[in-house]
Amino acid sequence: MPLIETSFFKYGKTETDALKQADPVLGDAISRLGKVERETMPDLFHALIYAVVGQLISVKTAESIWQRMQHHFKSMDPVTIAGHFPEQIQACGLTRKKAECIHRIAAKICSGELDLSELHHLPDQEVIRRLTALDGIGQWTAEMLLLHALERPDVVSFGDVAIRRGMMKLYGLDSMTKKEFDGYRERYSPYGSVASIYLWKISFE
Choosing from 17, 23, 160, 182, which is the catalytic residue?
A: 160
Give the whole-angstrom CA distance, residue 9 versus residue 185. Answer: 19
Neighbours of 120 (CB within 10 A): 10
Tell me, yes or no, if 43 is annotated catalytic. no
Dump the DSSP string for 62-94.
HHHHHHHHHHH-S--SHHHHHTS-HHHHHTTT-
Give the whole-angstrom CA distance, residue 199 versus residue 53. Answer: 22
HSE-up of residue 141 (Cα within 13 Å, Cβ side): 27
Q: Which residues are catalytic?
A: 160
